[in-house]
Amino acid sequence: MKQETVHTAEGAGRVCARYGFDAAARRHRLELLELGDADQHWAQRLQQEVIAPQVDALVERFYDFQQRFPEIMRAIGNRDNLAHLKNTQRRYLLSLGHDFSGEDYFGERLRIGEIHAQRNIPLSLYQASYRHLQQLLVEAIPAAIPPGSAEHLALCGFISKITALDMTLAIETYHSVRMADLRETVDNLQSEHWRLHEKVGRDTLTGLANRESALNELEAALATVGKRNTQLCLIMSDVDHFKQINDTYGHLTGDKVLQCVAAKLQQLLREFDIVGRFGGEEFIIVLDDTPLEVARKVAERLRRGVEQELVQCDEQNIRLTISLGLTRATARDDVRGLIRRADDALYQAKEEGRNRVVVI
């Protein structure tokens, strides 16, 4: 397709460092391609005898080939782009092989791969164009170096090696950029997945876990109680006289009450405790790895905390209280049975006058 060298503020050294091409890595790559000190002589002859005298003709022949393929022309774009690319290709050819073992040479070739990846140039087009460039350079060897001669074979060999070096460096960074883009896409999708998961699992009014999410968490915690030899306690809680609040002050005030209670519960619980809106004015609280006596103290702290809250409505302060039913899970419990027992404790708390904790 096109070759572009580093003309940005970022130096070749930084580009090499980004892709791990320190001096040792550069030497190893040259060894793989059998490029050594003796090839510096052939690099000089390639420039002096093949490229420099014919550079403009080489560029024209290169883009004559490119224009035969509609997909390449779509990637190139308009005529202004083509003129720019011809100038860029000219500069590229005049630098081909020059000090090929140096940091600047590697950095420029690595950057070419970045540019192709960033501009979404298909790698297949780039490779096909490179094959044609090799052919053009071989065909441009002057008649003074006859085919089959030692010089001709050595020059052809150098053309093969130096274009292979350029192409492998560009392809390497091309894949690195695409892999980085892919990782970023995956990270973004994963973040969006968790954001949606979190949103779906939340009660829209209170911001607490919704019923389904809280039950799933309870089921997961309950399944490991026997295995971990730990204690799990469940609290079912209800806002006292909530229907009366709704009937007296309206549903908007009722919503404010639920939000106030939810915020207080979250504030007084540990970060890893599970608290959710079970439905209506009822809340579910899962205290994992918590002995019953500790859970009783937690429940009392929640009750006292809510009792101190006031919700203002039309210059009136509404005092809030909650009732709480507490029970401890056993290895034999399932979710339904555990909730039923906590609900029985909650019902008893209401029967006994509300604003209290009952343990069953």
Structure tokens at 84: 């720019």
Write down the pLDDT at residue 197.
Answer: 58
The pLDDT of residue 157: 97
What's the pLDDT score for residue 4? 44
> Which pLDDT score is estimated for 268?
96
Compute CA 321 distance to the chain's CA centroid, rounded to the nearest angstrom. Answer: 45
Please say if 281 is a catalytic residue: yes
pLDDT for residue 10: 67
Which position among 103, 114, 217, 281 bears the catalytic label? 281
- Which fold is adopted by the domain 211-359? Alpha-Beta Plaits (3.30.70)
What pLDDT score was predicted for residue 65? 87
At residue 236, the 3 state secondary structure works out as strand
Give the separation between CA 333 and CA 81, rounded to whole angstroms: 72
Provide the 10 A C-beta neighbour count for residue 202. 16
Per-residue pLDDT of the chain (360 residues; tens, 9 = 90+): 444 444 444 688 999 999 999 999 999 999 999 999 999 999 999 999 999 999 999 999 999 988 888 877 777 777 778 888 899 999 999 999 999 999 999 999 998 888 878 777 778 888 888 899 999 999 999 999 999 999 999 999 999 999 999 999 988 888 888 888 888 888 888 777 666 655 678 898 999 999 999 999 999 999 888 777 789 999 999 999 999 999 999 999 999 999 999 999 999 999 889 999 999 999 999 999 999 999 999 999 999 999 998 898 877 899 999 999 999 999 889 999 999 999 999 999 999 999 999 999
- pLDDT score for 193: 65
Exposure b/e, 336-351, CB count within 10 A at least 16 = b:
eebbebbbebbbebee
Nearest of 119, 243, 107 to residue 181 by alpha carbon = 119
- CA angle in degrees (0–180, nearest 5) for 198-227-211: 30
State the Cα–Cα distance between residues 152 and 156, nearest whole angstrom.
6
Q: Is the pTM higher than 0.75? A: no
Domain regions of the chain by residue span: 12-192, 211-359
Asked: is 12-192 a CATH 1.10.490.10 domain? The reply is yes
Within 8 A by CB and 6+ apart from 360, the residues are 325, 326, 327, 341, 342, 344, 345, 348
Side chain identity at residue 89, one-letter code: Q
